[in-house]
Amino acid sequence: MEMFILSLTIFVLAVFVGVEVINKVPPTLHTPLMSGTNAISGIVVVGAIISSGGSEHTTVLSTVLGVAAIALATINIVAGFMVTDRMLNMFKKK
Amino acid sequence: METVINIGYLVAAVLFILGIKGMTKPKTAVRGNQMSATGMLVAIIAALLDNNVVSYEYIIIGVLIGGAIGAFIAKKVAMTDMPELVAALNGIGGGASLLVASANYLESQKLAEMGQFVPTYDWSIAVILSILIGAVTLTGSFIAVGKLKGKIGDAKQVRLFKWIVKLSLAALLAGAAYFAAVDPVNSDLLIAGLIVLCLILGICLVMPIGGADMPVVVALLNSYSGLAGAAAGFVLGNNGLIITGSLVGASGIILTSIMCKAMNRSLTNVLFGGSMSESSGVSRSENDAFYEGKVKFSSADELAMLLDGAQNVVFVPGYGLAVAQAQHATRELAGMLEKQGAKVKYAIHPVAGRMPGHMNVLLAEAEVPYDQLVEMDAINPEFSQTDVAIVLGANDVVNPAAAEDPNSPIFGMPILDVHHAKTVVVVKRGLSPGFAGIPNELFIRDNSLMVAGDAKKVLQDTISALKDL
């Protein structure tokens, strides 16, 4: 239970940090913000990697699910960062 | 090693925060995005160092498949299709979280057999939550994509969907209670059933929402995709996932509330109120009667003459501009007017287009300098000094009824005050009502002219007429 409370504390504090930072993003950049956060939410790849790393307690099914999860999360990461970069470069040049 | 890995996740989270901070200015945004990408790399390396990772071949296969698909999409997608892309990526993110939670459940089962894992209540709740949020985000997002593409129309049986939602929520609660209290370890079938239930729930939650409200839904699902990641973090006990997921969750929530404010509606009303045109819309004949003989139609040639002498010109882009892909023609016309000494600005309503900031990206693609894009509150006082305001495929966001007619269903919604301009030129394909399903009084005002046609075509004709003058 202590672990849970610690995680919950981190979660709540991180939400506040997020609100503070994101409130300052101007409306002009809201679309790149959304695609950028799409990329960041690909962080679940971390969980997927651990699941498909093939240690003794994984099963065939859990490995299959893990690899599928890696593929999906990587789509998010790669497409998200690349398309955000594409958009932001349009804003940069004058 | 454990310490190194956790510090890696912390560094990644800090880089994400700094990356988003970079997004607060267009000048630093590219670097910010690169910082976030670096953070992701750090997190992935940290995950690969985990004790549980002993073989790499499956991981590499997954990364190669996903990377190739992702790169292909990012290169190919047109800027006008960004709302669909973001919605699809939300769904994919939710799907990934769902898969991670399911895979982890299976592993925990095995661990419990080996006597190395004892399920707790908070673990059970986290498993259920990550399945719920992940599955709802997955199917809800793809329904949203269909609605954005216009492939899925506004649902007629709003009641039926609400009924299914209530029923599946009740079933979900019962299932979750059994799972957490009675048997968290040997419940494969129950978990599979709950996943199916949550997938159905996602469909039925988004189906009754009108196509016009998709910007809000996409922003909300963006938030869910982050929360799904955070929930997966609770299941795995991984703080890196929790921090990052909550950042994304916060971002989506903020954008959702901005969108709702700009439409003067509450989130509950958007999510459960059904489609707006359904409840308040007028019939086709009422719509025709409203405009009958009162609209002054004009042509591209007349528009060119009008612009020839104009000093202050404001473009008001809407969804029609995106559909017609008219951003480059707009920029070209603006460039000509600037050469003649006119001052050109672009008025951006927060809900113009199909997602937050959609118009800004389209105009940036056409190389419009971002300081010419003016937000609603800043541009509204300037309309009284504007010679010509050109409305390109926008409707409800310039309807004066929102400010003046207390009986109008959109009364109170903040609008762009284009009707204060000396002349308003509305470029629109026809007189059909906008998303709200109501006629627009602006079109029959004395100072407004209508040029019927596709925005791109009309602007190109205006450009050539202007050259001939």
Report whether pLDDT(B391) > 80: yes
Which residue out of B148, B248, B328, B359 would a mutagenesis test of the A interface target, given it has the greatest number of A Cβ atoms within 10 Å? B248
What local confidence, expressed as pLDDT, does residue A41 receive?
Answer: 93
Most confident of A90-94, B74-78, B280-284: B74-78
Per residue in B68-92, pLDDT (tens digit) is 999 999 999 998 899 999 999 999 9
Of the residues B59, B76, B93, which one is the last residue of a structural domain? B76
Q: With contacts defined as CB-CB under 8 Å, which chain B residues touch A9?
A: none
Nearest CA in chain B to A73: B96
CATH number of domain containing B358: 3.40.50.1220
Of A24, A50, A61, the CB nearest to B24: A24
Cβ contacts (< 8 Å) between A2 and chain B: which residues? none
**Marked catalytic residue, from B396, B405, B446, B468:** B396
Read off the DSSP letter of residue A57.
Answer: T
Nearest CB to B63; choose among A16, A74, A91:
A74
CB of B189 within 8 Å of any CB in chain A?
A: no
Mean pLDDT of chain B: 89
Per the CB < 8 Å rule, is B71 touching A29?
A: no
Based on the residue annotation, tell me whether B396 is a catalytic residue of this protein: yes
Residues B237 and B345 occupy one common structural domain? no
Indicate if B223 and B301 belong to the same structural domain.
Answer: no
- Inter-chain residue contact A10 with B242, CB threshold 8 Å: yes
Residue at A59 is within a domain: yes
Is residue B161 in a domain? Answer: yes
Would residue B279 count as lying in a domain?
no
Residues in CB range of A42: below 8 A, 6 or more apart: A73, A74, A75, A76, A77, A80, B40, B93, B96
Evaluate whether residue A71 is within a structural domain.
yes
- Total domains in chain A come to 1
Task: Judge: A58–B107 Cβ closer than 8 Å, yes or no.
Answer: yes
Q: Are residues B392 and B409 in the same domain?
A: yes
In this structure, are B263 and B302 located in the same domain?
Answer: no
What's the whole-number mean pLDDT along residues B100-124?
87
User: Sign (positive/negative) of CA torsion B144, B320, B82, A26?
Assistant: negative
B339 within domain boundaries:
yes
Binary contact (A47, B369; C-beta < 8 A): no
In this prediction, residues B210-237 reach a mean pLDDT of: 89
Mean per-residue pLDDT over chain A, rounded: 89
Tokens of B358: 């959609």
pLDDT at B246: 93
Residues B60 and B89 reside in one and the same domain: no
Q: Is residue A4 part of a domain?
A: no
Could you give the number of structural domains in chain B?
3
Residue A7 in domain: no
Do B89 and B72 lie in one domain? The reply is no
User: Cα–Cα distance between B233 and B51 in angstroms, integer?
Assistant: 18
- Of B223, B254, B274, the last residue of a domain is B274
Q: What is the mean pLDDT of residues B409-423?
A: 89
ipTM: 0.94
Q: A23 in contact with B at a CB cutoff of 8 Å? A: yes
Which is more confident, A42 or B185? A42
Q: Is residue A12 part of a domain?
A: no
- Ranges B138-142, B165-169, B269-273, B404-408, most confident: B138-142
In the prediction, which pLDDT does B438 show? 82
On the question of pLDDT at A21 being above 60, the answer is yes
**A18, part of any domain:** no
CA distance A2 to chain B (A): 10
**Does A23 map to a domain?**
no
CA distance A11 to chain B (A): 6
B69 and B3 in a common domain: yes
Is residue A1 very low, low, confident or very high in pLDDT (cuts 50, 70, 90)?
A: low
- From chain A residues 40-79, the ones with a CB under 8 A of any chain B CB are 40-55, 57-59, 61-63, 65-79
Tell which of B274, B302, B324 closes a domain. B274
Judge whether B233 is closer than 8 Å to chain A, CB to CB.
Answer: yes
Residue B278 has pLDDT above 60, yes or no: no
How is residue A25 written in tokens?
């993003």
Note whether B303 and B447 are same-domain residues.
yes
CB contact under 8 A, A30 and B356: yes
Residues B375-397 have a mean pLDDT of: 91
Q: How confident is the model at residue B247 (pLDDT cuts 50, 70, 90)?
A: very high
Together in a domain, B58 and B207: no
Domain that holds residue B64: 1-76
- Domain range for A33 is 28-92
Scored b (16 or more CB within 10 A) or e, B303-321 reads bbebbeebebbbbbbbbbb
Find the residue in B nearest to A41 (Cα): B226
Q: What is the pLDDT at residue B76? A: 93
- Would the CB atoms of A47 and B241 count as touching at under 8 Å? yes
The band of A19, judged by pLDDT with boundaries at 50, 70 and 90, is very high
Interface contact A94, partner B, CB < 8 A: yes
User: Does residue B71 sit in the same domain as residue B89?
Assistant: no
DSSP letter assigned to residue A44 = G
Residue B86 CA to residue B215 CA, distance in Å, equals 11
Q: Is residue A35 part of a domain?
A: yes
> Are both B225 and B338 inside the same structural domain?
no
Q: Is residue B164 part of a domain?
A: yes
Is A2 an 8 Å CB contact of chain B?
Answer: no
Give the pTM.
Answer: 0.89
Please say whether the beta carbons of B440 and B434 come within 8 A. Answer: yes
Residues 6+ apart with CB under 8 A from B50: A49, A50, A53, B5
B119 shares a domain with B40: no
Q: How far apart are CA B100 and CA B49, in angstroms?
A: 18
